[in-house]
Structure 1
């Protein structure tokens, strides 16, 4: 999946300030069904979603109470707020993974509204995550994914009103 920014950068200073003041900028590395991710507080979605709710975004489909979606999910486990670390396709090349439970710090970069297809639009918070880059390299992967490390806080299957 490759994201196409709909705007170069979205100025949501309120969201960034809220994160810095109220939310942890650290998560724990987890693996479920070949999907490796940094598990972050679900407050990244539940507390931040109200900032963008009026713009036509839905809560991402990572929870039982999420709206129905056609988006591909990773297995049957609903993992909540996260940063993708290793995709299931990459997982097939990884052996002896022993970093489950590792603490992964990150810093907030910016808010972006991006699209992976013409009908799938996401509100993401991009993050800088040097330790995650090291983990990927340790397992013979490129240091980065084809898209920025990020936390998705909203999505839409049609162009939201704020776009």
Structure 2
């Protein structure tokens, strides 16, 4: 599946900042709309992530700076490149799981370091969230 994405989807995106200060790399929405059905994750209880709810929603993206990091990069609007690594299921806790496409981007690492932060975002790989699964606790 990663090979399919590598051959059919762009390996770059534009840096965007939301009004709340969240900075992300906007990538082709095909990463979610194409890969989600191909992975057949709906059969396992996963849904597309809620990144398309409104016109302000980011769609498919790679998080770069969280709002609480208080960075307004001069590079907004510029193009950054990445390479695809692997698709993995991450268990955030006992109730939430995510299917993510791990990516590597020395360019994004250098950007974060330029603003005095670690190259990685909260010590995690850069990634594109493809699906989420939430199980609600019964009381």
**Structure 1: which 5+ residue stretches go unaligned?**
1-14, 66-75
| Separation of aligned partners in 1, 2:125 and 2:7 | 23
Trace 1:14-163 onto structure 2 (pairs within 5 A): 15-32=1-18, 33-50=20-37, 51=39, 52-64=41-53, 77-91=56-70, 94=71, 97-146=73-122, 147-158=124-135
Deviation at 1:158, TM superposition (A): 2.8
SS in 2 for 1:60: coil
Paired positions, count: 132
Of residues 29-38 and 150-159 in structure 1, the stretch that sits farther from structure 2 once superposed is 150-159
Gaps of 5+ in 2: none
| Distance across 2 between alignment mates of 1:99 and 1:121 | 32
Q: Quote how far apart the aligned CAs of 1:53 are.
A: 2.6
CA RMSD between the two structures: 1.7
TM-score by length of 1: 0.76
Give the number of the structure with larger relative contact order, counting CA–CA contacts within 8 Å between residues 6 or more apart.
1
